[in-house]
Structure formats: structure tokens, C-alpha cells
Chain A
Amino acid sequence: MHKTMNRNSNVYTVIYATVLTVLVAILLSAAALGLKDKQKANMDNEKKQQILQSVASKLGKTVTFENAADLWKELNMDDAMFCVNTKGEKVEGQTAFDIASKILFDKGKIKEDATLPVYVANIEGIPYRIVSLYGAGLWGPIWGYLSVDPEGKVAGVSFDHESETAGLGAKIKDDPAFAEAFIGKSLFTDGKFTSVSVTKAGKPANHGGEKVDAITGATKTSDYVGDMIWESLLGYVPFLQGATSPAGGCKKHEGCQKHEGCEKHEGCEKHEGCEKPCDMEGCQKEACTPEACGKPECKAQCGEKAECADKAECDACKKAE
């Protein structure tokens, strides 16, 4: 019992508490530091899975937590991602993968100066550009990835949510049929961004353009998905449309589409230094790229509409051929 007296003194209590705190702090820091890399790898893997899920239908297989890392490597995704700003220009100096979609938004609108991540999955020679989505759901944030094929059509989507109602709103993630409904919908109507709306069956789309039917019983969450796609893509539109260059930039190439690998786009006169031939990636029905104008593959993709915006340019390029 002699210890009991001792145990109740203030000094003893304070020293005891201090020693305990220090010991626990050391122990926990050691555990946290030791396991950090492994945890980071897991989180990255989950993100990779979600990104690749948006092109799963093109890959022709399901993307799981286990095979995501291998698929990622197989598609060489680490080299096929970059950042763009809201004007559609490439931005150097940031790793697309490390950008959290959440910080790109301010009160539900994409920030003017945001740096947006883009991932490109090359599947059977076709580059699918995957963009990230983020927005408010009914009960918490919702986010996802949307892949766009070279024609401006949706190649696939993957959604996730934090706390939508299980069995109703949660279907945006759990019901494959909902995601499949997006495939093949065009984001553009006559060259104008019209997004893909999500509205009740029988109701028209919100912004013109195409729509997907809302989940029965979860119209609100579905609405939010539509809003998220619209708001998130607004920042990407210049990039996705191939973006007209900033003022003072490429005037001659009005119909010219920015394409992967083209470094000297800004102020570009005739794409000198640009090594890759225009791969039709951004070919729009209305504004076929001058380089490809008149070429058979242009017509194949663009149909009879394959006309350059700039007639003189088009003639020049035909002549060059």
C-alpha cells in the first residue's frame, strides 16, 4: 500500500502522463512511417482501378483491385497522363495522378486557374482520353472518371460516392447497367458542348444533346451525376474540342486540332517541328484538320462533311498532297 500514496500525488500523475504520451507518440509514429508506403500503394491502386474502370468496356475485361496495377503498367499509363488548364493548354510541372479532383472545385464550379488531370489509354491504337469528375451528390461527394473517344463520344464511365443511399443512389456505382448506358453518347452536338444529361425516363436532356435515364427511385442522385458531368467537363471542353489557341496564337490553323505529342502548338504556323502526323484524334465533324483534309482516312471518319473551316488552308493542303 505504500505505493498508493505515491500514486496519487500530482507530480507522479504529471510525470506518468508525460512518459506515457511520449512512449505512445514514438510507437505510433514508427508504425505510421513504417507502413506509409504500403498504404499509399493501396490508395493509388484504388484510384488506378477507378480510372481504368472507365475504359473497361473497351478493354473487354473487368478491372479489379488486384489486376489494376498490372493493367496500368500494360497500358503504360504512367507515361500517358498529363495536365491541362481550363483553356485546353498543356501544363508542365505537375503529375496528373497526384492531383486530387476535389481541390479543382470551388462551390461546385471548376476553378478558372485549375490544373486538370488527363489520362490517355491507348487501346488497340485508339487513344481514349480519361478525365476526372467530381461533384456533390445527394448526401456527400460523388466522383468518377469518364473516357472520351476520338470522336467526342463517351467510351465509358466509372462513378463512386461517399454516402448515397444503399440500394438507390448507390446504384451509380453498383449497377453496371447505369454506367453502360453512357457508352456511345456524344458529348458534343454540332461542335457545341452539350454533355450527357441524366434525367427521368421520358424527360428531355438538360442541355440539349444526349441523355441517360435516371435510376428509378434515385432521381436526385442521378440529377447530381448529370450536374457533376456537366460542371466537371466544362473545364475540359477547350481541351476536348482541341481548343482554339489563345489570342495571337495559331490563326491559320483554325481547324487544327491539338494532338498528342505536338509540342510547338502555341504560335504554330504550320506545325513545324510537330513530328506526329495529325492522327485524327480530335477530328470534329465540322472542322476537320487541314493536314488530313481530303485524305481518305479523314473522309472515313468525318464522312462527307470533311471540310476544312478555312477554305484556303484546305486548298493548300490538298496541293501539298
Chain B
Amino acid sequence: MLIVTVMANEKKPGVFTGPLWTNNPVVVQVLGICSALAVTTQMKPALVMGISLTCVLAFANVIISVLRNTIPNRIRIIVQLVVVAALVIIVNQILKAYVYDVSKALSVYVGLIITNCILMGRLEAFALGNKPFPALLDGLGNGIGYALILFITATLRELFGSGTLFGYDVLARFVNEAGYDGYQNCGFFTMPAAALIIIGCIIWYQRAKNPDLQDK
């Protein structure tokens, strides 16, 4: 709430709220698709991935924004990569130490945050040209926008693919209580293809609601 109030004072409403939906990094800017698809079979890894990326993005945005006037132009990309890679390594170490099962489920996709286009995209497009505070908001906004899409996709995939939510049996119980006999998992939702189609449908829905986003 604090952030939102401060933001309103600064008259930059779009920086934080924009990326949440109307300028969402995944479905509108088309950035960071790789991990959005790969880690969404279960909700817990998806949530952890969303949080990890938000942290990395917010920190990287602030660091690059602080350094923006000192970075030598020629090694700009490398400096960005090094900062991001260092942050990702720290996140990876923390995940391995505290949520081991999730870090196994995420496997190499944590490392792939480094090349997640959201990061390079936001660093290049925003952090290099803005002060640290707006950069922080931009990082948080885009990170949460990304996490949101991950979360929606993972919810659908876990609910129908395994009949559970966060590992708790939901669908089978519901079906049983309704007087029918059990729920057969829809294996399709656990497969890679389902993620693509779900995100395709999210895009469809969003562009139907916001006609100005549609391709001509």
C-alpha cells in the first residue's frame, strides 16, 4: 500500500500498476516466456519462481539504476549480465538451502532467470535511464505481473492435471462429495503443450478485453 501511495504522489501510476495487467511482461511485452511455461506444472514451484524473479528483477533494476552513470558503454551488457548472474546465484543458493524440493523442481530454470528476457528488457529499457526508486517500482511491477501469469497457469495446470492445489487434494474430494466416484487426472494439463495453450488463451482473453492491444 505504501508503494502505491508514494507512487501516486510521484504521479507515476503506470510504472507499478501497468505491468500487472495492461502492459504485462509475459502476455503483452512477450518477455520471459521460457520459464513461465516450464515451471507451471505445480503451484509451489511457480510461486517460488515468481518470487525469485521479482526479487532478482527489483534488485537488479535498483543496482543498475544506481550504477547507470558509471557503467562503461562498451561493456554495458556484460555488466548487466554479471549483476543479474550474481543475484541469481545467490537466489539459487538460498533456494537449495531452504526449499530443496522446490529447487529440484525448478532445476535449471532458476539459472535461466539470467537470460530471462524480462530482466535484460527492463534493465535496458528502464533501469539505465531512470532513478533508483522508479526502477524499483518497475522491477516489482514487472516481477509481480510475471508471477501473476505464472500463478494463473500453474493453478489451472495443477488443478486439472493432478487434481490438487498446492499439493492438497481438491478436485477428487469435491467430486466425491458431489456423489460421483473419483476424479481421473487430465494428463494433458501436465504436459508442456498445455502451458502454451493456456497462455495462448490468456492472451486471447486479455486482447478481447483490451482491443487496443490487438494486432492489426
Instruction: Name A's B-contacting residues (CB within 8 A).
Output: 3, 7-8, 12-13, 16-17, 20-21, 24, 27-28, 31-32, 35, 38-39, 42-43, 45-46, 65, 166-167
- Cβ A65 vs Cβ B100 within 8 A: yes
Q: Mark B66-85, 1 if CB is under 8 A from A, else 0.
A: 00011111110011001100
Measured CB to CB, the closest approach of chain B to A13, in angstroms, equals 4
Cα A35 to Cα B95 in complex, Å, equals 10
Q: Is the CB of A35 within 8 A of B89?
A: no
CB distance B73 to A8 under 8 Å? yes
Q: Which residues of B approach A to under 8 Å, CB–CB?
A: 69-75, 78-79, 82-83, 86, 89-90, 93-94, 96-98, 100-101, 187, 190
Within the complex, what minimum Cβ distance (angstroms) separates B156 from chain A?
19
Is the beta-carbon distance between A7 and B97 smaller than 8 angstroms?
A: no
Say what secondary structure dominates the interface of chain A: helix
In the complex, are the beta carbons of A28 and B72 less than 8 A apart? no
The 9 closest A-B pairs by CB, nearest first: A38-B97, A42-B100, A13-B72, A35-B97, A24-B86, A39-B96, A35-B93, A31-B90, A39-B97
For A13, the closest partner residue in chain B by CB is B72
Contacts of A27 in B (CB 8 A): 86, 90
What residues of A have a CB within 8 angstroms of the CB of B89 in the complex? 28, 31-32
Residues of chain B lying within 8 A (CB to CB) of residue A31: 89-90, 93-94
For B75, give its contact among A3, A13, A43, A166 (CB under 8 Å).
Answer: A13
**B75 to chain A: closest CB distance in Å?**
6
CB-CB < 8 A to A166: which residues of B?
A: 190
Task: For B72, list chain A residues within 8 Å (CB).
Answer: 7-8, 12-13, 16-17
Q: Are A20 and B97 in contact (CB under 8 A)?
A: no
Residue of B nearest to A37 (CB): B97
B36 to chain A, nearest CB (A): 19
A13 with B74: in contact, given A20-B82, A31-B93, A35-B93 (CB under 8 Å)? yes
Residue of B nearest to A167 (CB): B187
12 example contacts (A-B, Cβ-Cβ < 8 A) are as follows: A7-B71, A13-B74, A13-B75, A16-B71, A17-B72, A24-B83, A28-B89, A31-B89, A32-B93, A35-B96, A42-B96, A43-B100
Query: B89's closest neighbor in chain A, by CB?
Result: A28
Q: Which residues of B contact A32 (CB under 8 A)?
A: 89, 93
| Chain B: minimal CB distance from A154 (Å) | 27
